[in-house]
Amino acid sequence: MANEMNAAPIKRWQTWYALIAFLYMYLPIAVLTIFSFNKSPSPSQWTGFTWEWYAKFLQNPTLLAALKNSLSVALTAVSVAAVLGTLTAVGLARYYFPGKNLYRGATYLPLIIPDIAIAVATLVFFAAIKIQLSLVTIVIAHIVFCLAYIAVVVSSRLATIDPKLEEAALDLGATPVQAFFRVLLPQLLPGILSGSLLAFILSMDDFVIAYFTAGVGSTTLPIAIFSSLRNGGVTPELNALSVLLIIASASIASIAEVIRSSGTHD
């Protein structure tokens, strides 16, 4: 009884702490959402409800072109990284070769290196081999960190798969390639999909690396937003765009978590 009485104040403090933490994290998003529907362009005065700013964003050729570039970069980078990241994870988990630990560290290094360091190193590399900056160079740069994230997620999924299943397939006459595609790959799909969705969000969100590796006419959405903020400050149109990006990111993250969880419970 005494323990229950002592635990009650602790639970109350935990509840208040959780509420304050959520308020701190999500109050700015709530304010942003509210003012994206504000008739007035002023961020400090509410004058009525409107969908005008969402309509204006959908009619803004600069932002729409930047969004198209970001989608092209993210889809291309994630598609390539999904293949390379999956093969990397499988190779590191199932095979032994000289320098394996060094290769593993190099694969996961982009996860801990600051974006600015990756951006400068990539820019210097492109300059050294005389490659003109364009959407292609952004894609190449994004593949580097997308591959690392996908490899990590696939590796965690791979750790839950019994290697004896592949051995059984080989014993029954399957070739290593057949065992991979018919036995291992179907079990890895939840990890590949969830890792790809995570990498897609990170690619769409990236500003630093894209800013350093973008050429003329290859402006991505974060770069376009940054330029708009420098020239005109925060506008309701950008508020509307930000709300749409938050909704899209939250939806993709939720889908990735559902896929990952369903794969874990298989």
26-79: per-residue pLDDT in tens? 888 888 888 888 887 776 677 788 888 888 888 888 889 999 999 999 999 999
CA dist 265 and 258 (Å) reads: 11
55-264 belongs to CATH 1.10.3720.10? yes
pTM of the model: 0.82
pLDDT at 184: 86
The dihedral through the CA atoms of 12, 13, 14, 19 has a sign that is positive
CA dihedral angle for residue 99, residue 100, residue 106, residue 108, rounded to 10 degrees:
-170
Give the residue among 215, 227, 222, 188 at the shortest CA–CA distance from 74: 222
The average pLDDT across 115-120 equals 92
Name the DSSP letter for residue 129. Answer: T
Q: How many residues does the chain have?
A: 266
217-233: per-residue pLDDT in tens? 888 999 988 888 887 67
Assigned token pair, 92 = 């590191």
